[in-house]
Structure 1
Amino acid sequence: MGEPLSAAPTRIILDTDLAMGAPGSDIDDGFALALALADPDLRVELVTTVGGNSDVATSTRLTRELLGVLGHDDLQVVEGAPAGDDAARELARRVLAEPGELTVVAIGPLTNVARALALSPGVAGAVREVVVMGGVFLEQTNVAAMPGEYNFWCDPDAAQAVLDSGAPLRLVGLDVTRRVRLSRADADELAEGGSFGGVAAAATHGWIDFQEQVKPREELEQGSCALHDPLAVAVVTRPDLVTWRDAHVAVETEGRVARGVAVADLLMWEDPPTPNCRIATDVDAAAFRALFLERMASLP
């Protein structure tokens, strides 16, 4: 009897507002891209860019530069909103061409995904799944200037449109992602690796420096940074890393003091609304950390 066939990799489109490489900018999108490429159970088919952590043109340039460092400069990158709908059209075209085959992993504002759904509503039924880093569900940001999690706050209308679409959704929110951390010591260890490790280590130290300047009272932020987007990538093939719960989520789009706030109905009362997603409510931080560092060590 022959060896059993291994499962085919999960094919993904990664939609990102990547900023790794820009001084003082968040770095977790860069690590998410690296993790997606390092995971043998994932196959990245396309990267689309969206404005968020940086303007979309800068995000596109930085994405291509990072793909070069990672040895994947042949991977197609399509620039999207707000510059145009090229990313939305390509995303929709690919999903509709192979119903049930492609997962969209959205780790920036949901503008491209919402526009793809508006251009081609059939995307909701054709996509295998949409995994989102966005929202905060069991806690809150405690920031008056940004009451909603950043990705939802940037484009709350897009977030609501995706939630209304009927697409299969899993949401990994800020209340869970900020529990998974990368320390200065981790960055130093990365620096001993290949080309990506050197770039990532320098960016990590720079981002932690910035965080310590702007959040001096946040003990959690001292000496480390959160790996928000990599966790959303990891759960595509390792859903066991987090605890999931069905929910009905809506996003405040017009509130004077609550822009981008996600309200999660956990379906606890009689006659609850129909769930429109699954949300992450807890994470095995140690297991994720071990997986993440192992994958990073495997990169060139």
Structure 2
Amino acid sequence: MNSGIPLRMISLDVTNPETGTILRSESIREINPAASPVNKLFHDICATYLENPMFDWGDGCILYDPLAVASAADPSLGTFKEMAIVVETDGRYSTGQTIALSEGKPNVKVMIDVDGTRAVDEIVRQIESI
């Protein structure tokens, strides 16, 4: 986090059903796995959320990692705020967790809001075009 490399972070705060970053079951079923190997992989990964739900927040697949990739390609998918972020390594709070400091020099641009519907639409469009 202190390398000096420009960093952007997508936290779990913006990847949840309330922000619209969920690919709903109807949309998963519309993915044509026969269209390409990438479509098949995308369909199969998302379908696991329907076959073996891991969370109780609803019917669908949260696009955690695809949101990070999509926002790297198009930062306008969300709102970023410069923050001072550290990785807790002393075991005082939660070893390995990223923590936002109220003081300190900002070192990471953190996504604090996302246009979830637009992000999901763009992710699906890009994957289906491969």
- Fold shared per TM-score above 0.5: yes
2:45 is the alignment partner of 1:203: yes
Kept in 1: contact 2:63–2:120 (CA 8 A): no
Matched residue type, 1:290: D
Q: Distance in 2 between matches of 1:257 and 1:248?
A: 17
Work out which of the residue numbers 61, 64, 81 in structure 2 matches 1:245: 81
Q: Distance in 1 between matches of 2:98 and 2:33?
A: 40
Work out which of the residue numbers 162, 169, 176 in structure 1 matches 2:14: 176
Matched residue type, 1:264: A
Distance 1:229 1:273, change over 3 A: same
Q: TM-score, normalised by structure 2?
A: 0.82
Superposition deviation, residue 279 in structure 1? 0.5
Query: What SS is found at the alignment partner of 2:23?
Result: strand
Q: Distance in 2 between matches of 1:193 and 1:293?
A: 15
Query: What SS is found at the alignment partner of 2:50?
Result: helix
Matched residue type, 1:207: Y
Moved beyond 6 Å, runs of 4+: none
Q: TM-score, normalised by structure 1?
A: 0.39
Superposition deviation, residue 282 in structure 1? 0.5
Matched residues, percent identical? 29
Gaps of 5+ in 1: 1-162, 267-271
Query: What SS is found at the alignment partner of 1:188?
Result: helix
Q: Distance in 1 between matches of 2:73 and 2:28?
A: 25
Superposition deviation, residue 192 in structure 1? 5.6
Matched residue type, 2:104: P
Gaps of 5+ in 2: none
Kept in 1: contact 2:9–2:110 (CA 8 A): yes
Q: Distance in 1 between matches of 2:41 and 2:85?
A: 37
2:3 is the alignment partner of 1:165: yes
Distance 1:192 1:261, change over 3 A: closer
Structure of higher RCO (CA pairs closer than 8 Å, 6+ residues apart): 2
Calculate the aligned-residue CA RMSD, in Å: 2.0
Q: Distance in 1 between matches of 2:33 and 2:97?
A: 40
